[in-house]
Amino acid sequence: MTAPLRVALDQGTGLSGDPASSLDRLRERARAAAADGAALLVTPEMSLTGYNIGSEAARLAEPADGPLFDAVSRIAADTGVAIVYGFPELADGNVYNAVRFVDAAGSSRALYRKTHLFGDLDRDLFSAGDELVVQVDLGAHRIGLLVCYDVEFPEAVRAHALAGTTLLVVPTALMGPNTSVATLLVPARAMENQIHLAYVNRCDTEGDLDYVGLSALVGPDGTEILRAGPTEALLVGDVDPAATEASRAELSYLGDRRPELYSAPATAPAP
């Protein structure tokens, strides 16, 4: 039997537009996660720079192997905790809303670019990624990456489930009044795909945005293993493969699918 994976969810960020403060905070949080036995620390969307920062996103953007990665790599190696962090990635003249997985040795293992851009807030600043399923194995656990708005598309999460993701990690910057995304949709996504889902949101105010917090680790039956409130928190809990096996033994949504009946077009006309 695969051992549970202990994960830490960091609901909070450093000062917007100030990567140095965010790195200081990340170092402290990684140490706290390590002290609590966590093997993986997940931070919010654009956690190293801030999200609602306008043209600062382009100024602070850097290549995936730039100074921000070097700093996070040292933190991961020093604390022995794998880290998922968000940053603006500069590549081929474009800026992407990216998240990166760095393992406990400080090596980069995966990079995901947000594929579903949220309104003008995203589209004015970022290019969309074009690779939906990005995964990394941590021991026997297959971890998938999405960012914020991506999880609101059932196709995105189902694609991960069909590709074998067992823990879907979703760094987020969900603002009010959209609390139902965190409290209703996220548990439903975990349950209908019978996977664990770590949804890690901001909880502060940034410009004209008020983030709602409500980070959660949800089990494959929709049960909330961890749930934060509206204020800063570091939540630590276990992803237990036995829960996935039990859920799928009782009722297999993936196994009972009938893809031959799902003939709706992949795209639909705009309303």
Catalytic residue annotation: 45, 114, 148
160, 187 contact by CB (below 8 A): no
145, 134 contact by CB (below 8 A): yes
For residue 64, the one-letter residue type is: A
Decide: residue 150, CB within 10 A, 0-12 exposed, 13-18 middle, 19+ buried: buried
β-strand partners of 129: none
210, 176 contact by CB (below 8 A): yes
All residues at 6 or more sequence positions from 42 whose CB lies less than 8 Å from its CB, including other chains: 7, 8, 9, 10, 83, 84, 169, 171, 198, 200
**CA–CA separation, 90 and 187 (whole Å):** 33
Q: How many CB atoms lie within 10 A of CB 264?
A: 7
**CA–CA separation, 215 and 159 (whole Å):** 23
236, 7 contact by CB (below 8 A): yes
Tell me the three state secondary structure of residue 8: strand
